[in-house]
Each structure stands twice: as C-alpha cells, then as structure tokens.
Amino acid sequence: MKLSEIVERVGGELRGDGSIEITGVAGIREAQKGDITFLADHRYEAFLASTRASAVILAKNGDLGDIDKAVVVVNENPYVAFLRAIEIFSPRDHDDPRGVHPTAVIGEGVELGERITIGPHAVVEDHCKIGAGTRILAGSYIGFRSQVGADCMIFPNVTVREDSAIGDRVIIHSGTVVGSDGFGFATTGGKHTKIPQIGRVVIDDDVEIGSNVSIDRATTGITHIQSGTKIDNLVQIAHNVVIGKNSLIVAQVGISGSTEIGSNVTLAGQAGLVGHIKIGDNVQVAAQSGVVKSVPANTQVSGFPAREHSVSRRIWAAIAKLPDLAKTIKRLSKRVDALEKQLDSESISQ
C-alpha cells in the first residue's frame, strides 16, 4: 500500500515521498525497510537515526531534526495513529465467521455465541460456553465445562482441558496445552503416587499465548494468567502459578509450581524460576537466569543464582579477568617468598 493511502486513513500531515510502498508495521527497533513505525516516547528518540523503517509517525511538537525518511506528523499521540496503521495491516483470513464446520463435534449443553467459527475436526465437549465472535480453528479441543470469552482466536491444534476459564480477546497459538495436570506426586518407599490435579486454569482478557506452551491446571485452586500478559512459545507454567497484568514471558521460560509473578514483569528467554517464590511488579529477569529466591519489585536480576544485575555484572567482569588474577597471585606468592627469605637472612646477618 502506498504511504499516501495510509496517511489518508491514519490521518496527519505527510512530509516526504507518498509514493513509497509500505508493507507492514513494526516497533522502531524491529522495523525493516518497507515498515511504518512511530515515536511517542522521548527515550526512543535515539533510535530515530538508526531505524530501518521507511516512514515514522511523529507528534507535531516533536523535534524532527534531519530525518532521511518519510514522516507523518500528527496532532494526537503518535501511538494512537499507529494503532490505526496496525488495523490496516491486520490479517483478515478469519474475520468472516464461518459457523460450525460439519466435521466439528459439539457436545451436549454447549452455548455458542454469535458470529462464531468452529473449524474442521474441532471438538467442544459438553457444557462449554463459547463467546460471540470467537474462532476455534481446526483440530482444537475444548474440554468439558470450559468457557471461552468473546472475540478469542484459538489457532489449530490447541488443547484446552476441562473447567478452564478464558476471558475475552484471548489469542492461543497452535500446539499449546492449557490445563494439563500439574506435576504432583506423593512419594513413599521410592514410589510416586499421583496427586489428583483438580484445580483449574483461569486466563483473563487480552492475554496472548504462543505456540507449544504448557500451562498446568492447579492442584487445587487456580493457575492464573492475568489480563494483558503476553506469553511467547515453548514456555512452561506449572500448577498454581500466578502471573500478574501486562507481563511479558519470553520463549522457553520455565516457572515452577506456586510461584507468583507481579505485573509488568519481563522474564527473558530461557530463564528458570524455582517454586513458591514471589517476583514483584516491574521486575526484569535477564535471559537464562536461574531465579532461586523472591525478587522485590522494580529490580533487574540476572545470572545463576540470579542477583541484582549490577552485582552480576561486577561478578562477570571479575570472572573474565580470573585467569590473569590467578597469575598475579602466583607472582605475588613468589615475591612474598623472596621477601621472607631476604628478611630471614637479614635477621640472621644482624
């Protein structure tokens, strides 16, 4: 789509070449050639020079300086204009409700909302309730008595086990399992007996869950993902975990049982958290960290065992110099040997 057409729909004043082709939308750091992006926050101004985006949405009062790309100047918050650009590029394949496919299997006592799509070979077990505008695509399974809210997107081959509760506008990607049994056993004499996992999973509004994620149901009570939280692929969320609002859980993170994560927390890729700890609001856990105890709010932690990031950085710097340090100590030892010898002989000589 031509930039000039986008400006017509998004609003604002175009400065630059309206004939360039815009192929997508992206954040200022991730943008590639052909993307339109936005700048709303002063802390990101530094990226304006280096972004690969072809066009940038800016506020009127922004200091434009010398920008070598097309600019769309808006009177409102540039982010709001950017959301309209997002709309233009959103995929449309599943926008038109297709109803219930003849091969889908719908159990007894199921309530289906309006404008619904239930794909081929999908299964909705007895006494489920599916909200208006929700799409449950091919091969997905919704277990007994589960509820899925309005305008959700359940991609193909998802499994939602019984008694789960899913809010509105939730997106779940393929291969993901919601409500598998928690890993709980009573052990005597070396044998492990399964503890029934009779709790549930509750997922609040506007949550997105990537592909091949495992979210276990609670032993009793609930495993709870709160509104606005986004979960990447291949993440493990154990029984009775609670994740607060608007947190980001990056790929391959593992969260052990009963751990509570606050709001606006970021857990970076492959981080692991032990069970029964609390991670405060706004905490950032670096990639591959191993978190073995609770972390207070507004803290950045990294490393194994995870420590405040500034401390970890000092330790890593020291580790990098460790081989040299060992040599220094060897030399010091010899110098002290020599000093002792010298003093000894001088004492004798005296």
Which listed range, 8-16, 56-64, 109-117, 186-194, lies at the site for its own copies (CB under 8 A)?
Answer: 186-194
Which listed range, 9-17, 58-66, 68-76, 207-215, lies at the site for its own copies (CB under 8 A)?
Answer: 207-215
CA gap 94, 116 in Å, rounded: 10
Write out the binding residues for its own copies, residues 7-66 only, by CB under 8 A: 23-27, 30, 32, 34-35, 38, 40-41
Phi, psi of 89 (to 5 degrees): -95, 0
Verify binding: residue 226, its own copies, rule CB under 8 A.
Answer: no
Write out the binding residues for its own copies, residues 292-311 only, by CB under 8 A: 304-305
Structure tokens at 254: 């593992």
- Could you tell me the smallest distance in angstroms from the CB atom of residue 250 to its own copies? 7
Residue 261: which residues within 8 A CB-CB, separation 6 or more?
241, 242, 243, 244, 247, 249, 255, 267, 273, 279
Residue with tokens 């926008």: 95
Verify binding: residue 168, its own copies, rule CB under 8 A.
Answer: no
Among 56, 82, 100, 284, binds its own copies (CB under 8 A): 82
- Could you tell me the smallest distance in angstroms from the CB atom of residue 135 to its own copies? 13
Asked if 266 and 247 touch (Cβ cutoff 8 Å), the reply is yes
Paired sense of beta strands 236-237 and 208-209, if any: unpaired
- Could you tell me the smallest distance in angstroms from the CB atom of residue 271 to its own copies? 9
Phi, psi of 341 (to 5 degrees): -60, -45
CA gap 65, 277 in Å, rounded: 48
Examine residue 196 and say whether the peptide bond preceding it is cis (omega within 30 degrees of 0). Answer: no
Among 246, 294, 299, 300, binds its own copies (CB under 8 A): 246
**What string of DSSP letters covers 251-305?**
TT-EE-TT-EE-SS-EE-TT-EE-SS-EE-TT-EE-TT-EE-S-B-TT-EEETTT
- Could you tell me the smallest distance in angstroms from the CB atom of residue 106 to its own copies? 10
Among 195, 205, 277, 300, binds its own copies (CB under 8 A): 195
Verify binding: residue 214, its own copies, rule CB under 8 A.
Answer: yes
**Size of the residue set binding its own copies (CB under 8 A):** 124
Asked if 291 and 306 touch (Cβ cutoff 8 Å), the reply is yes
* Candidate list 121, 173, 239, 309, residue with the active-site label: 239
Structure tokens at 348: 């004798």
Write out the binding residues for its own copies, residues 104-133 only, by CB under 8 A: 105, 119-121, 123
Among 83, 109, 111, 296, binds its own copies (CB under 8 A): 83
Structure tokens at 197: 């996992």
- Could you tell me the smallest distance in angstroms from the CB atom of residue 73 to its own copies? 18
Among 135, 161, 200, 224, binds its own copies (CB under 8 A): 161
Verify binding: residue 176, its own copies, rule CB under 8 A.
Answer: yes
Verify binding: residue 277, its own copies, rule CB under 8 A.
Answer: no
Verify binding: residue 162, its own copies, rule CB under 8 A.
Answer: yes
Which listed range, 7-15, 68-76, 108-116, 257-265, lies at the site for its own copies (CB under 8 A)?
Answer: 257-265
Closest CB to its own copies among 61 and 66?
61
The strand order across the sheet containing 99-100 reads: 99-100, 117-118, 135-136, 153-154, 171-172, 208-209, 230-231, 248-249, 266-267, 284-285, 300-302, 307-308
Closest CB to its own copies among 75 and 114?
75
Does the annotation mark 192 as catalytic? no
Residues annotated catalytic, as ranges: 239
